[in-house]
Amino acid sequence: MGRYPKVVLAADRTLMSPYRGISLASFFGCAPALDFNRDHGSFWYQILRNQVTPKVLFDFICNPIEHTNGYANFAPYGLRKVESALLRDGYSREDVVVAHPDHIEKFIGPETEVVGTYEMDPLGMGPVTMTFTYGRKHMSYDEFYNRDLHQRINAAKKRTGSKAKVVAGASGTWQYNYDPAKIEEYGLYGIVEGELGGIGPEIDGAAGAFFDALIAGEFDTANPFKKSQFKVEIKEFVRNDRSLHGRFIHYWNEPSIDEIPNIVNPSMHGMIEVMRGCGRGCKFCDVTLRPLRYYPVEKVQKEIEVNIKYGGLKNAWVHSDDIFVYGLNPRTTKNMQPNREAIEELFTGIMATGIEHTNPTHGTLAGAIADERLVPNVSKIIKSGPDNHIGIQCGFETGSIRLIGKYADRKLSPYRPDEWHWVVKNGIKVLNQNYWVPAFTLIMGLDNDETPEDSWETIRLIHEIETEQPDSKFTTTPLTFVPIGLLEKSDFYDIGNTMDPAKLGVMYKTWQHNFKYGIQKFMGKVGRDNPIKNWFFTTLASTLGGVPLSAMEGYARRKGPDHERVIEKIKANYW
């Protein structure tokens, strides 16, 4: 290659995979990859060595995205935003490359000034990952492939003598605060921190100014007296009597809608954005710290058209922190009553682009049922039906009335915390009747304040839904508490060392629900149009589905009678 590009942008393989078209499989990056402490004399070591989830299986499901001469054909939405912002701010097309992770070395050379990496769970500390790896006792695939990306970048720099500054950005960069040795290991020049939660790094409002300052060396030293929208902080960490340093660059001015550029190349999964921020104020969530802004319909359509024209896509994943908040003003709208007209207009505009399928990424149960015409009307617009289910991620959080009232009361608005169980049951009913399937997330050890009675309330609620609505469709994923948002000063919930019997019960019940009501019932429907794919997933589901249940039973036996009694109680009363 001739002259190398000034700016190379990339993300690791787990963020650059179509996951064979199965949307739920994108969680697979959270799976455990390596167990460095496995007994070398054990059966599993003889078969798999240190691998936990076999790499051959992971690599099959997490298939690499297509590329054209090393240029990624699709990229994470947030990375596409930075790319388009740089082009808007005066960088030429030759200056900016979004590279495929397997080919990034092609683009790094003497003229490269910056390599920007987009990182959502770089060290495997996200809530789902922490749950699957027992609090990072194993290395997850998210971490494995992020490490692989940085090793490739460093090898390319060494080979070509490149002095490019490597900068990590996006919603997972907070993790470097908890394992600062990785900053040195990966050779990171800087870490972008601040109001960057969610999917679109807010840096897209001022990407040109940011990269100009970075290249000019303005972030080399911290100067607290210099007026700038970027603040450099050199943090010092002491670990094992060693002093470690990291350069953290903060940016806190959230761009207005007019300052947010539209993507110019296709995004992964046809992702587009319709809003930033959420006015519900859950204390455990960082999205809530951001001001609420909505894209007008025309802006949404322009991004979908890019995905159709350059990516041949026929679907749109609508990134939304709570889709049912779209178009309302949380300060003036009584009880967060949804703005049905605005939401209908949005989805009418989305479908008018000619796509065949769309689904919002997130929504609240309270918002879904606060207006009884809302979900049925939207369903008609987006043509949901028996052959077109709409997946949506919803926060179940906890069955505990006490905890939901204390940490997320506005998530329930217009309902009261003591109506939470009714909201959950009714929300599932309304969504399912209209062919929507909620994927629920729960928080284990919320603010380290969850008592055994809180956990049992969660277990009982899931069981009540199963018995009262046996045909209901939903999945439940427990996540361990991570201190972000208004609770950022709290401690992580340490699942590896402090899982009391009742919390094991929550994990056991949620997985049993997914296995019995989800995997066994619905996995056979995956890839119905493709017999090989269908066979693969049915076999995979029946073989691997029960493994976590057996593992938890084994864990309970090792922990002692209190843990075992919980498993037995669930089997006897809540199965």
H helical segments located in 161-206: 181-185
Question: What track of x and - describes contact with ligand SF4 for positions 397 through 436 (by CB under 6 A)?
Answer: --------------x-------------------------
281: phi > 0 → left, psi -120 to 50 → alpha, else beta; which?
left
Q: Between residues 104 and 271, which has the closer beta carbon with respect to ligand SF4?
A: 271
Q: Between residues 282 and 566, which has the closer beta carbon with respect to ligand SF4?
A: 282
The footprint of ligand SF4 on this chain (CB under 6 A) covers a number of residues equal to: 12
Q: Between residues 287 and 523, which has the closer beta carbon with respect to ligand SF4?
A: 287
Smallest gap from residue 206 Cβ to ligand SF4 (A): 24
Smallest gap from residue 509 Cβ to ligand SF4 (A): 22
Cβ burial, residue 169 (10 Å; 0-12/13-18/19+)? buried
Q: Between residues 358 and 441, which has the closer beta carbon with respect to ligand SF4?
A: 441
Neighbour-count burial for 490-521, b at 16+ CB within 10 Å, e otherwise: bebbebeeebbbbbbbbbbbbbbbbbebbbee
HSE, side-chain direction, 13 A CA sphere, residue 254: 17
Site for ligand SF4 in 45-74 (CB under 6 A): none
| Tokens at 91, concatenated | 């960088």
Q: Between residues 187 and 483, which has the closer beta carbon with respect to ligand SF4?
A: 483
d(CA 195, CA 191): 13
The enclosing H or E element of 441 equals strand 436-444
List beta partners, residue 165: 114
Smallest gap from residue 281 Cβ to ligand SF4 (A): 6
DSSP 8-state code for residue 287 = G
User: Is 256 in a helix, a strand, or coil?
Assistant: coil
Contact in structure between 29 and 14 (CB atoms under 8 Å): yes
Contact in structure between 322 and 427 (CB atoms under 8 Å): no
Smallest gap from residue 287 Cβ to ligand SF4 (A): 4
Smallest gap from residue 411 Cβ to ligand SF4 (A): 5
Smallest gap from residue 408 Cβ to ligand SF4 (A): 6
Site for ligand SF4 in 493-552 (CB under 6 A): none
| Sequence-ordered list of residues with C-beta below 8 angstroms from that of 531, at least 6 positions apart, any chain | none
Q: Between residues 119 and 321, which has the closer beta carbon with respect to ligand SF4?
A: 321
Smallest gap from residue 15 Cβ to ligand SF4 (A): 20
Site for ligand SF4 in 205-244 (CB under 6 A): none
Contact in structure between 271 and 319 (CB atoms under 8 Å): yes
Smallest gap from residue 231 Cβ to ligand SF4 (A): 25
Q: Between residues 131 and 288, which has the closer beta carbon with respect to ligand SF4?
A: 288
Smallest gap from residue 363 Cβ to ligand SF4 (A): 9
Smallest gap from residue 450 Cβ to ligand SF4 (A): 17
Cβ burial, residue 122 (10 Å; 0-12/13-18/19+)? buried
Site for ligand SF4 in 88-127 (CB under 6 A): none
Smallest gap from residue 481 Cβ to ligand SF4 (A): 13
Smallest gap from residue 374 Cβ to ligand SF4 (A): 16
User: Is 529 in a helix, a strand, or coil?
Assistant: coil
Q: Between residues 282 and 495, which has the closer beta carbon with respect to ligand SF4?
A: 282
d(CA 214, CA 20): 37
List beta partners, residue 441: 395, 477
Site for ligand SF4 in 267-306 (CB under 6 A): 278, 280-282, 285, 287-288
Q: Between residues 194 and 363, which has the closer beta carbon with respect to ligand SF4?
A: 363
Using alpha carbons, list the distances in angstroms from residue 24 to 20, 172, 449, 521: 10, 20, 30, 16
Instruction: Please identify which residue in 254, 321, 447, 454 interacts with ligand SF4, judged by CB under 6 A.
Output: 321
HSE, side-chain direction, 13 A CA sphere, residue 277: 18
Q: Between residues 285 and 506, which has the closer beta carbon with respect to ligand SF4?
A: 285
HSE, side-chain direction, 13 A CA sphere, residue 264: 13
Site for ligand SF4 in 331-390 (CB under 6 A): 364
Instruction: Please identify which residue in 12, 35, 119, 322 interacts with ligand SF4, judged by CB under 6 A.
Output: 322
Smallest gap from residue 361 Cβ to ligand SF4 (A): 10
Smallest gap from residue 321 Cβ to ligand SF4 (A): 4
Q: Between residues 285 and 566, which has the closer beta carbon with respect to ligand SF4?
A: 285
d(CA 324, CA 362): 9
Q: Between residues 115 and 130, which has the closer beta carbon with respect to ligand SF4?
A: 130
d(CA 263, CA 272): 9
Q: Between residues 287 and 499, which has the closer beta carbon with respect to ligand SF4?
A: 287
Instruction: Please identify which residue in 29, 109, 395, 505 interacts with ligand SF4, judged by CB under 6 A.
Output: 395
320 binds ligand SF4 (CB under 6 A): no
HSE, side-chain direction, 13 A CA sphere, residue 145: 29
HSE, side-chain direction, 13 A CA sphere, residue 138: 21
Q: Between residues 364 and 480, which has the closer beta carbon with respect to ligand SF4?
A: 364
Give backbone dihedrals phi and psi of 242, rounded to 5 degrees, phi first.
-110, 140
| Tokens at 138, concatenated | 């194993």
Instruction: Using CB under 6 A, list all residues that contact ligand SF4.
Output: 278, 280-282, 285, 287-288, 321-322, 364, 395, 411
